[in-house]
Amino acid sequence: MTNSSGIDDRSTSVNRETLAASLGSALKILDPAYFGFVMSTGIVSISFFELGITIIARPLAVFNVACYALLLALFAVRAAAFPKRTLADLRNRDRHWGTLTFIVATNTIGVQFLLFFDIVAVAAAMWGVTVVATPLLLYYLFVTEIIGTGKAGVSERIDGAFLLVIVWMQSLAVLGGLLAEPLAGYGNVVVLLSMSYFGSGYVLYFVVVTVVSYRLLDGPIRPDDWTGPYWITMGAAAITTLAGTTLGPGLVAFQGWEPYPPVIVGVTFLAWAIASWWIPLLLAIDVWKFLTDGVDGRPPIWVIVAPWLRLGFGRGVHTYSPTAWGRVFPMGMYTACTLNLAGIGTFGLLSVVPVYWSWFALVVWALTLVGMARALGRVFFSIDPTEEPARESV
């Protein structure tokens, strides 16, 4: 009995050490882009809130706030435990654009605090944090991209994640537009800052999307080159639409801005049209990727029928990675921006689009969530906790 008990104790101790090593390894390689999960969950919940389907919207909102708090804690621990790795991620051109997801996620949570919980103080505090953090992080990232002799060519290092810069700016404009009225004493300042971000983000979109389009058109594109963040070509235009519909109609309440609502509404519709143009192309390339990436011969029938199932299921064909959330956020954002644009009388006919598109976005969100759970489980329970899976990462 004593020997058996001793063996059990040693086994338990080994299991605990293995689990601790797995957790430490997972924390060390935790991708900054994981705040994209909060962005995606948040905008899907907001979309269903706008549709009036609160049975889906409210649980997602509560779940998302909890996940945001958990991610903040995890990244705080990571920064303390692995400061060199954290700084290396900021210098790594392949990963540092993912840090922008923190800003967008924070603004998304701020919008949820306003819409679901009516807590203006928390939303205003989050907006204030992101307004202060924006110039520091923005210019650091651009300086890092510009300076250096060992960097690759533009077409080799730029992908859809570069468009997070626009999403970042417009998320500030969206939350600022919603806060302008509640923060009446500071309304003019909030509107001025929000319109500045809206205008600069709008113009910068055409610059950045040109570079990203060149990346897609220049040379061969392999299936594994096509990643979720390329959907931000649409998502950046969609969030620009949401920012315009949030800011434009409300400008009449602020002195000096009265002549501008018709102009803002006009350019906002242009942004929506651009976002809509991208969708068929993005869907077609997604299907091509899921039917060919890592597939020898004919893909399984379930992949042919529903290609996005690969995000959540399959063994050798499981394609989840943290950047997959870059696909979900634009889908949810297109629902939200179309609903808000349809709320402006002239565009009422557009309201039929999100009624169907929203469910597709929810299904892709759910599949991506399953894929994330599988990837996390694989890391935590792998035989070698220090080994990073070839097709999945945390």
What count of Cα atoms within 13 Å lies in the side-chain half-sphere of residue 256? 6
The pLDDT assigned to 93 comes to 66
User: DSSP for 265-307?
Assistant: HHHHHHHHHHHHHHHHHHHHHHHHHHHHTT--SSPPHHHHH-G
pLDDT digit string (tens) for the chain, length 394 residues:
555 555 555 555 545 556 566 676 667 777 888 899 999 999 999 999 999 999 999 999 999 999 999 999 998 988 888 888 878 777 776 677 778 899 999 999 999 999 999 999 999 999 999 999 988 888 888 888 788 666 666 666 677 788 899 999 999 999 999 999 898 788 889 999 999 999 999 999 999 999 889 888 887 888 888 988 999 999 999 999 999 999 998 888 888 888 999 999 999 999 999 999 999 999 999 999 999 988 888 888 999 999 999 999 988 788 888 889 999 999 999 999 999 999 887 888 899 999 999 999 999 999 999 999 998 877 666 543 334 444 444 4
Question: How many angstroms separate the CA atoms of 287 and 277, rounded?
Answer: 17
Per DSSP, the residues of 328-358 read HHHHHHHHHHHHHHHTSGGGGGGGHHHHHHH
Residue for token pair 């597939």: 295
Rg of the Cα trace of the chain? 22
CB under 8 Å, gap of 24 or more: what pairs does 268-273 form? 268/240, 268/241, 268/244, 268/341, 269/241, 269/341, 269/347, 271/202, 271/205, 271/237, 271/238, 271/240, 271/241, 271/244, 272/237, 272/238, 272/241, 272/337, 272/338, 272/341, 272/350
Q: What is the DSSP letter of 96?
A: G
pLDDT at 142: 83
The helix or strand, by DSSP H or E, that contains position 209, with its residue range, turns out to be helix 187-217
Cβ atoms < 10 Å from Cβ of 152: 9
